[in-house]
Structure 1
Amino acid sequence: MRDIDAIIRTLIQSYPELSVEQLTVMHPADDDGIWYFKHPTCAHEVKLESSYGTCPFIFETSADATVATAETVSAAIRLIVVGLGLAAA
């Protein structure tokens, strides 16, 4: 199981209304290693990026210019939860 699969599974278990969408690419050679996370209680989305779906991930949010690196699965989960306002920082 890739790290992204563990991240998604853990988040969906805790936040069933969370939606996750992987970037759809036009050509198989393009990098589809971007996942968008959205929750109905949040006006913006966050994304994780990793070409292979494994740590480290680059984290970004549409709320501001925040960019961070998640070195572990738990760090990625925390960034997403906080980034979507589902928990305090």
Structure 2
Amino acid sequence: MSRSAKRFYTVAWSAQDTTGGPLDEVFRALREELPDLTIERVRRTHPGDDDNVWWLTLAEADSDVQIDSAEGGEPPFVLESDTDPARRVATVAMAVTTLSGKRLRAGSLFPGNQP
């Protein structure tokens, strides 16, 4: 899905927005490392839609990253991008390491994956 198409289905997620769970720690750590990081949350269009989905975007990166959480921002977190298949990570530390700026800027979360 293109960046412009994603934005139709998302709302901005500011530093003041919180899930009330460990995902807030992930976002806080990433924002400290990457001040230019944009986070958007999927907007629920129907009552049954899952809105525990966020898009992480760096303007200079070729690919956006999707992160899903359990209800209330709880792990496990599911991380994926255009070049990386979905993978579960169980902790805040694993999510922050996987979503590091170096990997986000390179467009590949999991070393060794091919686009």
TM-score higher than 0.5 here?
yes
What are the ranges of 5 or more consecutive residues in structure 2 without an aligned counterpart? Answer: 1-19
What's the offset of the Cα at 1:54? 0.9
2:4 aligned with 1:13, yes or no?
Answer: no
Partners of 2:77 and 2:90 within 8 A in 1: yes
Q: Alpha-carbon deviation of 1:29? A: 3.6
Distance in 2, matches of 1:42 and 1:12, equals 16
| SS in structure 2 at match of 1:44 | coil
Contact 2:70 2:76 in 1 (8 A): no
Match of 2:78 in 1: 58
| Aligned position for 1:25 | 44
Match of 1:44 in 2: 63
Q: Which residue identity lines up with residue 41 of structure 1 in the other structure? A: E
Select 1:68's aligned residue among 87, 90, 107: 87
Residues in 1 aligned to 2:103 and 2:74: alpha-carbon distance in whole angstroms: 20
Q: CA deviation at 1:73?
A: 0.4
TM-score computed with the length of structure 2 as normaliser: 0.66
Q: Does the 8 A contact of 1:70 with 1:76 survive in 2? A: yes
What SS class does the counterpart of residue 85 from structure 1 fall into? Answer: helix
| Displacement after TM superposition at 1:80 (Å) | 1.6
Runs of 4+ deviating beyond 4 Å: none
Q: CA RMSD in A?
A: 2.0
Question: CA offset at residue 78 of structure 1?
Answer: 1.6
What runs of 5+ residues in structure 1 fail to find an aligned partner?
Answer: none
**Distance change (3 Å), C-alpha of 1:31 and 1:51:** farther
Structure possessing the higher radius of gyration over alpha carbons: 2
Question: Following the alignment from structure 1 to structure 2, what is the Cα–Cα distance between the partners of residues 78 and 47?
Answer: 15
